[in-house]
Amino acid sequence: MPTKQRIKQLLYRTFYVLGFMIILTIVTALILSILPVNRDYTQAQEEHIEIFITSNGIHTDLVLPVATPYIDWRDKISLQHFAGANNNFTHIGFGWGDREFYMQTPEWSDLTIEVALSAMFWPSASAMHVEYIPKPLIPNKHQRPIKVTPEQYKKLVAYISDSFQRRGEYFIIIPGKGYTSTDNFYEAKELFYFPKNCNNWVNGGLKAAGLKAAFFAPFPYAVMRHYR
């Protein structure tokens, strides 16, 4: 068989195997994302704290009150680092993700194929994205409220806090990388890759707090669907 023909057949087989693996991964992820955990969870009705999960269609975040009897986030994340925020801001948003993806794509138009593929398939350094929010969010399909008990809230706070790298008692800021005057990036623990991505991080927080969540949640839908 001519060498060119062999190379062509090898390329066809390689693309076929890669395509099959990608489809199998997506189908498996979709099936696992349907399976719920903490099925017996019901939202707190009496003493509760209201939190939000938010989605921009690709990425999900956790949004919490700035101050409660259980934590004042300003003690950990100083307002001095946020020129556009002040003590009147009521909420704070947390996201965990691929550090390079965060830094190089302030807008979706900035996304390149190289950055996207690296974030999906190559374990890489992570970062925490923190944003101070001036007022409570309005519930809608992209911003879904959850009423949690004090105990559930404290577990969620512990999960979020443990995602940051620390220097003593303080989280480590990444200087000059925020998109606006009300957000910043901080050094985070663990590596980012497809099975451990931004949506699975949010889903992991819900699990850790004993809230309804998906078994596996690589896509925003898997996180948001439980709180329609």
- Whether residue 72 lies inside any domain: the answer is yes
136 located within any domain: yes
Q: Which residues contact 143 (CB under 8 A, 6 or more apart)?
A: 52, 53, 54, 63, 137
Q: Pick 80 or 29 by higher pLDDT.
A: 80
Instruction: For 98-157, write each residue's pLDDT tens digit.
Output: 888 787 765 555 555 555 555 556 678 999 999 999 999 999 999 999 999 999 999 999
Q: Is 18 among the domain residues? A: no
**Phi/psi of residue 55, nearest 5 degrees:** -145, 140
Q: Are strands 91-98 and 183-187 parallel, antiparallel or unpaired?
A: unpaired
Domain assignment of residue 1, yes or no: no
Other residues' Cβ atoms within 10 Å of the Cβ of residue 109 = 6
How does pLDDT run across 18-39, given as a tens digit for each residue? Answer: 454 555 455 565 666 677 787 7
Contact 193, 124 (CB under 8 A): yes
Contact, 70 vs 84, CB < 8 A?
Answer: no
Give a yes or no: residue 104 inside a domain. yes
The count of structural domains within the chain is: 1
Residue 171 falls within a domain, yes or no?
yes
Tell me the residue range of the domain where 160 lies. 35-227
Residue 130 lies in a domain: yes
Q: What are phi and psi of 97, to 5 degrees?
A: -165, -175
Helix spans in 94-140 (H): 99-104, 113-121
Mean pLDDT over 203-213 rounds to 95
Contact 101, 119 (CB under 8 A): yes
Q: Is residue 182 part of a domain?
A: yes
**Residue 20's pLDDT is what?**
44
Kindly state the average pLDDT of the residues 56-66.
94
Please name the amino acid found at residue 127: A
